[in-house]
Amino acid sequence: MARQLLPCDGAMWLFEAFLPPPAADRAFATLFDELDWRREKMRIMGRSVAVPRLTAWYGAAAYRYSGIDHPPRPMPAVLHDLAARAAGTTGRSFDAVLANLYRDGADGMGWHADDEKALGENPVVAGLSLGATRRFQIKHKTRALPRIDLDLPSGSLLLMSGPMQHHWLHRLAKTKRPVGPRINLTFRRMARA
């Protein structure tokens, strides 16, 4: 059963046992070996900086994200199957995925919202966590609400929907604790022109 975790301004649903451990382990190994992982560069205040993670983009349309251009690329079977399973569980449909590989605790993703125009007015984004458990944090942009900290276990699926991306920021925190690699697949749906 899924739990809804936001007090207001959008919805975030956690499906803790989306993939059972053997299926999650198999998916991690296949994705680690088969995806076209790249170290992207991002422009921050005029400087080019390598992002602290590896990424791979698959989808029928091109996607521009943090100043990085991702050309269209069809999903391989493993991503196609997981996207279909995420759609079955959430009742939403997905046609693109941004894969992130956090090699260790020094890799992470800073505060942001998935609010690119290409994702439509109210983006629907589902994140599948595989491998090491890492801390995902959510804070409201303008209201003094408590920050939400979630340790996302392997096989869990987190669905963000409604107006959430207008009101909340999220990040994947770095950690000094020794941690193994984690893959996160963020399934998305590109808005039609």
Ligand X SMILES: O=C(O)CCC(=O)C(=O)O
- Taking CB under 6 A as the criterion, which residues in 63-122 touch ligand X? 98, 100, 109, 114
Whether the CB-CB separation of 59 and 75 falls below 8 Å is answered with yes
Pairing type for strands 148-152 and 182-188 reads unpaired
d(CA 149, CA 118) in angstroms, rounded, equals 28
Q: Which of 114, 120, 145, 153 binds Mn ion (CB under 5 A)?
A: 114
Smallest gap, in angstroms, from Cβ of residue 157 to ligand X?
Answer: 11
Q: What residue number has its CB nearest to ligand X?
A: 184
Sign of CA dihedral 166, 116, 60, 171: negative
Neighbours of 130 (CB within 10 A): 28
Smallest gap, in angstroms, from Cβ of residue 24 to ligand X?
Answer: 14
Smallest gap, in angstroms, from Cβ of residue 97 to Mn ion?
Answer: 12
- Taking CB under 6 A as the criterion, which residues in 112-171 touch ligand X? 114, 127, 136, 170
- The entry of Mn ion, ligand X, none that residue 123 binds, CB within 5 to 8 Å by partner kind: none
**CB contact set of 131 (below 8 Å; sequence gap of 6+):** 28, 154, 180, 181, 182, 183
DSSP element (H, E) containing 56: strand 54-59
**Ramachandran angles phi, psi of 28, nearest 5°:** -60, -50
Q: Which of 166, 97, 161 is nearest to 124 (CA)?
A: 161
Asked if residue 116 binds Mn ion (CB under 5 A), the reply is: no
Q: Which of 132, 184, 187, 189 binds ligand X (CB under 6 A)?
A: 184
Smallest gap, in angstroms, from Cβ of residue 35 to ligand X?
Answer: 14
- Please name the residue that has the structure tokens 């920021």: 169
Smallest gap, in angstroms, from Cβ of residue 191 to ligand X?
Answer: 16
| Residue 68 vs 87, nearer CB to ligand X | 68
The residues binding ligand X (CB under 6 A) are 98, 100, 109, 114, 127, 136, 170, 172, 184, 186
Residues in touch with Mn ion (CB under 5 A): 114
